[in-house]
Copies of this chain bind each other. A is one copy, B any other.
Amino acid sequence: SGRLFVERSPSAESEGLRIISHQNAPILMAYTYEVVDILMAYIVESFDRETKVIDFHYPNELLQMNNWELQDEPATLDDILISCRATLKYAIKTAHPRYFNQLSTGLDMVGLAADWLTSTANTNMFTYEVAPVFVLLEYVTLKKMREIIGWPDGRGDGIFSPGGAISNMYAMLLARFKMFPEVKEKGMSSVPRLVAFTSEHSHFSIKKGAAALGIGTESVICIKVDESGKMIPADLERRILEAKQKGFVPFFVSATAGTTVYGAFDPLIAISDVCKKYNVWMHVDGAWGGSLLMSRRHRWKLDGVDRANSVTWNPHKMMSVPLQCSALLVREEGLMQNCNQMHACYLFQQDKHYDLSYDTGDKALQCGRHVDIFKLWLMWRAKGTIGFEAQIDKCLELSEYLYNKIKDREGYEMVFDGKPQHTNVCFWYLPPGIRYMEDKEERKKHLHKVAPVIKARMMEYGTTMVSYQPQGDKVNFFRMVISNPAATFEDIDFLIEEIERLGQDL
């Protein structure tokens, strides 16, 4: 096995190095097939419940376990294959049916193949000229998503962005531009003090976006939620009035459809009434819950979403599309273009020979933009809408099974009452030792330490992974989420057994 791409040439052309790149295609093809075999073996392993989800090592250990340093000299082909194997050996098996740690889990093989095709096509979304098919597929898919939201004839606008945080930031940017278009040229000093509203359980990206856009985190007003984590519309109205009385200008409400921790759906119809009354842009952050629109059984949870001005919807979460795939859908056509365009004449030449409306790059904040559409589009072809529906329904069934299993089980307490709206099931596990502690504060203090220890043990055994966190005055609890349709009832049973096995001595 020789050195790749750069070989020392006998004719000693410039500094003795010669690029061989594609000239030695057969060697490279063979090598690439070897990598594919490694990947396929990894996939088979990831799908196998007998393998570990994770082979955990502390950072300083992992740094020692392979030579990760970059060198001046090229490595051998063998070394490259070894590096691929080592990287996978210590990776998290996110496709493993017992990996529940994040909102994005699982591995869809059609999505994967589509992502491999995307890498191979290696192009940018900015113009039709360099991405004709992908630009059209984005157009077709965004239209379909808008139809599902319920906007007439699927009209409107949108873009695929690098994640829900950026999609939410786009929404805030558009809302500001809609109300004060002069802000684009003149900046925030030309406008009155703007305030945004979102629930206290909403995603941190709303505040992050406000900080970046020069609005400031103090201008994001957090609205109270009810016991199950839903925004209270009366509190929203109260806080809007309060802000107006102070002379501030309410410009943006972000309702959440599927909060990160509780999986709560804010009441969109009531919120839209408030937004309409005070003429405020209504955004729905459906990064996590938007996919429930694909399910005839669950889409009622987003009733009122068609009244929104913009919607974030991440197919890379509940629809198992490979990372990343996040869409921002916008009701008003043309606004994104006006808000973001800078007319770069080296890219968006106005004298091209085709319909320039397909050069969508100038409505983005990015210049180059990764092709995130093909994996979603191909999966949609493969499954049909009913296939996505079935896998979403299945994940929700699994979470209901979990909820029913633990809600009255000894040693468990639910963080909030009632059937989960999304696949989030939030609960405390109380080891026998603290189950009957009388001192409430003492009990709470102990309970706070339980989840982190169980989680650390899960990772060291490598058997499963689930997230935990505190929230408000609630000490650390487990947040179970299910987005991998490969999970089964038995996997849920296993999780519970594992929590009890690892936590009983605490």
0/1 interface trace, chain A 40-71, chain B, CB 8 Å (1 if under):
10111001000000001111101100001111
Choose one: B117, B130, B383; the contact of A4 (CB below 8 Å): B383
* Inter-chain contact A116/B358, CB cutoff 8 Å: no
Q: Is A74 an interface residue (CB 8 A)?
A: yes
- Knowing A208-B342, A345-B471, the reply to whether A29 touches B40 (Cβ < 8 A) is yes
Inter-subunit contact B193/A214 (CB<8 Å): no
Q: Which residues of B contact A486 (CB under 8 A)?
A: 19, 21-23
CB atoms of B366 and A132 under 8 A apart = no
Verify A218–B368 contact, CB threshold 8 A.
Answer: no
Closest 7 CB pairs of A and B: A214-B214, A187-B216, A188-B188, A188-B214, A17-B390, A6-B387, A353-B456
Q: Which residues of B contact A166 (CB under 8 A)?
A: 162, 365-366
Q: Closest CB of chain B to A258's CB: distance in Å?
A: 13
A31 to B378, CA, bound (A): 14
If A28-B109, A59-B132 are given as contacts, then 17 extra A-B residue pairs at C-beta distance below 8 Å, sorted by A number, are A4-B383, A6-B386, A22-B109, A35-B116, A36-B36, A57-B132, A62-B133, A68-B140, A84-B117, A91-B132, A184-B211, A187-B193, A189-B193, A211-B339, A213-B214, A323-B368, A352-B455
CB pairs A–B below 8 angstroms (9 shown): A5-B108, A5-B109, A31-B109, A72-B384, A74-B381, A92-B123, A92-B129, A189-B193, A349-B468
Q: Are A71 and B384 in contact (CB under 8 A)?
A: yes
Residues of the B chain whose Cβ atoms lie less than 8 Å from the Cβ of A397: 14
Taking the full assembly, how many copies of this chain does it contain?
Answer: 2
Q: Is the CB of B113 within 8 A of A187?
A: no
Task: State A319–B99 Cα separation when bound (angstroms).
Answer: 36
Complex interface: chain B residues within 8 A of A479 (CB): 346
| Minimum Cβ distance to chain B for residue A211 (Å) | 5
Check B136–A68 contact: CB distance below 8 A.
Answer: yes
Chain B's closest residue to A106 (CB) is B21
Q: What are the residues of chain B within 8 A of A387 when measuring CB–CB?
A: 5-6, 17, 74
The residues in A between 397 and 426 inclusive whose CB is less than 8 angstroms from any CB of B are 397
User: Which of A165, A173, A459 gathers most chain B CB within 10 Å?
Assistant: A165
Set B131, B173, B378: member contacting A92, Cβ < 8 A: B131
Considering the complex, which residues of chain A in the window 79-119 have a beta carbon less than 8 Å from any beta carbon of chain B?
79-80, 83-84, 86-88, 90-92, 94-95, 97, 101-102, 104, 106-110, 112-117, 119
